Amino acid sequence: MFFNMEMKLKSLLKIKLKKYYMKNLNQLIILITIPVIFFSRCSQSDSLKIKVIPCESDVTLYYPLNYNQDAHNPSFAIVNEPRKSLDEIDSSTIKVSFSNIGDREVAQLTIGENIDLYGTGEVLGDLVRNGTNLKLWNTDNYGYGKDNGQRLYQSHPWVLGLREDGSSFGVVADNTWKMEIALGERITFSSEGPSFRVLVIEKDSPQEVMRELAKLTGTIALPPLWSLGFHQCRYSYYPDARVKSIADTMRLKNIPCDVIWMDIDYMQDFRIFTFDSINFPNPKETNDYLHKNGFKSVWMIDPGIKSESGYSVYDSGDSINAWVKNQKDSVFIGKVWPGDCVFPDFTQDKVCNWWGSLYKDFMSVGIDGVWNDMNEPAVFETSDWTMPNSNKHKGGKTKPNGPHLRYHNVYGMMMVEASRKGIMHANPDKRPFVLTRSNFLGGHRFAATWTGDNNSSMKHLKQSIPMSLNLSLSGQPFNGPDIGGFAGNATPELYGHWIAVGAFYPFSRAHATKGSINQEPWSFGSEIEQVSREALQRRYRLLPYFYTLFQESSKSGMPVMRPLFFHNSKDYNLRREQGNFLIGSDLLVIPKWNEGGNIPNGNWRTISINGESSENHKYHPDLKIRPGAILPLCNAIENTSEFSLDTLTLLVSLDTTLKAKGVLYADAGDGYAYQNGDFSLVEFNAEQIGNSINISVTYKEGHPLSDKTFLNIQIIYNKKSTTSVFNINDDIVIPI
């Protein structure tokens, strides 16, 4: 590819120069001249003039003068356009250039030296993305085998940069068309579509860049509390008796869990929005059983609709001309699980409304959440496992017509937006939960995500950390991989390590493929069952902290799972640490297989969440609290229907100034009353004064916690801790 042409030319000249010089002078002249002419043509005659628009909040817009807004509007990523600044001077230190190279439109950014690059969304590999090339063309990528994992299920044309002094920048290529990104001495975006604009954010820290990205792309909606619990899934749990058995065993063995998932085998012959008459004859009764035992249920819906007259979903869609067309304007037919399928054209407003309406009856049987899968869209028996680039989308009031080359990368995003709206209409008093496999930058507004069909291997366990971190650094805070690995068979040791760490992913779900061994927490013997139980007990006691972080993310866009350099972006070692990670700013997670990794400076003290001791444990990661932090915990529970803040534990770790601070957000956990002020935002402050520690409780917003709330205050020292119990309205003074 042309991205690496300069590098290849330099090395080629060094290697070939001596070899060819004496042998054939003319051949040397040809070798040198042809590439030089190529680069001269690209950098001069095909270089495009630029329109630069400085905006407020340190954002700069760059447009090539041949930019055609009809080829890109509406923007799928940017929902809040930056406001033009009164200052017309471009103060950005990043230099942007546009050019045509063959059939490609190219944007190159000169970024300076010693820059670490992150982001780029869902991709396999190291946390630091320098030196990588990746393709933005969403694909069904089983086991990440295609393109070495550099092309997966989602596309995020976004790069986060970090300079030596800790300052940061972010770059958005506002383009949905098929594209590639090369991260070398420059950042290069190369698109097969029309020329596109680039947005550059420049800030003093990566946290400020993430907040600004959130202002541009929007934030997640506050999820229901139950979705932060543990999810158990398999391809597939059926019949309904097995679903109930999984739920019963979770409760019998006291393993915390909130959600059981239904993959495609619940359907009648894989027809979406149907239920198998033999295996799931009464889905409402199944859901009622789960609800009675403290579980929610999530059921899968794919985009491929069986092309079959008499099937109500097909007939209703066909009546409004809902389908994607081929190049000859006939309905495109592609094979997926049901056989010959048609695919909704989500660029049409009427199709989105029709699709959303299908959820009314579906949700009425007690379904709690929806899993949109196969929405790259995946199509079997094709060269690239999807529909042709030349397929046609009709468009509507909000989106113009265009080829699939334009809409492929946002097909899944359009689907989950329509799904979410339909679910909200069906259940207006409940917060929706949607999980998607395919998405695009900004799609976090509509759905959580997981990292697709990974392998049951230690390699993919370790690589799940930088994958989740880079997704988090690309604006998607609600993410995580399949715990245990999807493809293949987990060993007891692998599952033990994975569930121990997986309890701390923002989205925590175990999943396994059809034909694999059972991969429930009790499937690997009593030792791993106990590891699973303790790991999930840790997560559930931390739910007040997790929920507070998700509320923060819904307001500011800050990730829930964070790289260590968020603690100190000037620390070179932290910038490359990809095994240890932070949950929020206050909790450090150190997996047992990464105990030699870097940690931030300062007195990070080891803590126990539920009486466990991780110090010499084979599987449980060490957890350390930031000096100066206060972590809120709830009582031990097995599902979120038991969640209560009647008793609240505060882990307090004083810093060198003998102070600490923490925040708690609480509401009903579902519904929308919080939007009308029915919530509590509480700040806890601790300070050692003489021979005592004073704790204060301040209500920042909303209403106070119940005056019956008790506080178990645990002061964390280097080798010990002390616990004192108070009513929340007491004057809290703890003698040392």
CA-to-CA dists, residue 603 to 371, 518, 584, angstroms: 42, 42, 17
Active site residue 147: no
Q: Which of 376, 417, 529, 534 is catalytic?
A: 376
CA-to-CA dists, residue 5 to 71, 79, 113, 551, angstroms: 29, 36, 20, 46
Q: Which of 453, 520, 577, 670 is catalytic?
A: 453
Question: How far is the C-alpha of 220 from the C-alpha of 360, rounded, in Å?
Answer: 23
Query: Shortest CA distance to 489 belongs to which of 463, 510, 460, 518?
Result: 518
Helix axes 240-252, 283-292, angle to 10 degrees: 0
Asked if residues 246 and 263 have their Cβ atoms less than 8 Å apart, the reply is no
Pairing of the two strands 605-606 and 629-633: unpaired
Helices (H) and strands (E) in the chain, counts: 15, 41
Question: How far is the C-alpha of 195 from the C-alpha of 71, rounded, in Å?
Answer: 9
- Rounded (5°) CA angle 395-396-402: 15
What torsion, rounded to 10 degrees, do the Cα atoms 328, 333, 334, 335 define? Answer: -150
Instruction: Report which secondary-structure segment, H or E, holds 186.
Output: strand 186-191
- Name every residue whose Cβ is closer than 8 Å to that of residue 428 and which is 6 or more positions away in sequence: none
CA-to-CA dists, residue 232 to 117, 251, 346, 519, angstroms: 35, 13, 30, 9
Query: Shortest CA distance to 122 belongs to which of 441, 435, 467, 437?
Result: 467
Amino acid at 333: I
Amino acid at 586: D
Question: How far is the C-alpha of 132 from the C-alpha of 194, rounded, in Å?
Answer: 24
Question: How far is the C-alpha of 299 from the C-alpha of 246, rounded, in Å?
Answer: 16
- Name every residue whose Cβ is closer than 8 Å to that of residue 15 and which is 6 or more positions away in sequence: none
Q: Which of 373, 586, 667, 670 is catalytic?
A: 373
Strands across the sheet containing 158-162: 50-55, 59-64, 197-203, 168-174, 158-162, 116-119
Active site residue 126: no
558 φ/ψ angles, rounded to the nearest 5 degrees: -65, 140
692 φ/ψ angles, rounded to the nearest 5 degrees: -145, 160
Sequential DSSP letters for 74-108: SPSS-SSPPPBPS--S---S-EEEEEEETTEEEEE
Burial 268-307 (b: 16+ CB within 10 A, else e): bebbbbbbbeebbeebeebbebbeeebbbbbbbbbbbbbb
- Name every residue whose Cβ is closer than 8 Å to that of residue 515 and which is 6 or more positions away in sequence: none
The 3-class secondary structure across 656-710, one letter per residue, is: CCCEEEEEEEECCCCCCHHHHCCCEEEEEEEEEECCEEEEEEEEEEECCCCCCCE
Token reading at 43 = 């950098």
Asked if residues 408 and 382 have their Cβ atoms less than 8 Å apart, the reply is no
CA-to-CA dists, residue 52 to 48, 49, 59, 293, angstroms: 13, 10, 11, 59
Active site residue 453: yes
Provide the annotated active-site residues: 373, 376, 453
